[in-house]
Amino acid sequence: MTRVDRVRTLLEASFSPDFLEIIDESHLHAGHNADAKLGGTHLKVTINSKSLNRLSLVQRHRQVNALLKDEFSNGLHALSIGFK
């Protein structure tokens, strides 16, 4: 299972999103992160979820980042989060 697959599984299970898009942008960062060439280090997530919509923007970011804590500990370097 790839990191994108794991992140998708976690986000879907936790937030039951109406919309979820995950783009691996690691290749754009290969110049400053050697592991980026392997993929899965820099992700862009766009999500829409009723459970997140009731929260402030800061709380939404905290929820997503907390959920992905283990991924950050195991090679996820950067996460861009957008809410639709």
For residues 17 and 11, is the Cβ–Cβ distance under 8 A?
A: yes
| % of residues, the chain, pLDDT over 90 | 74
Per-residue pLDDT, 70: 97
Residue 25 has pLDDT above 50, yes or no: yes
Domains of the chain plus CATH, in order, are 3-83 (3.30.300.90)
For residues 41 and 35, is the Cβ–Cβ distance under 8 A?
A: yes
Q: Comparing C-alpha atoms, which of 11, 10, 44, 9 is closest to residue 27?
A: 44
Per-residue pLDDT, 40: 75
| % of residues, the chain, pLDDT over 70 | 87
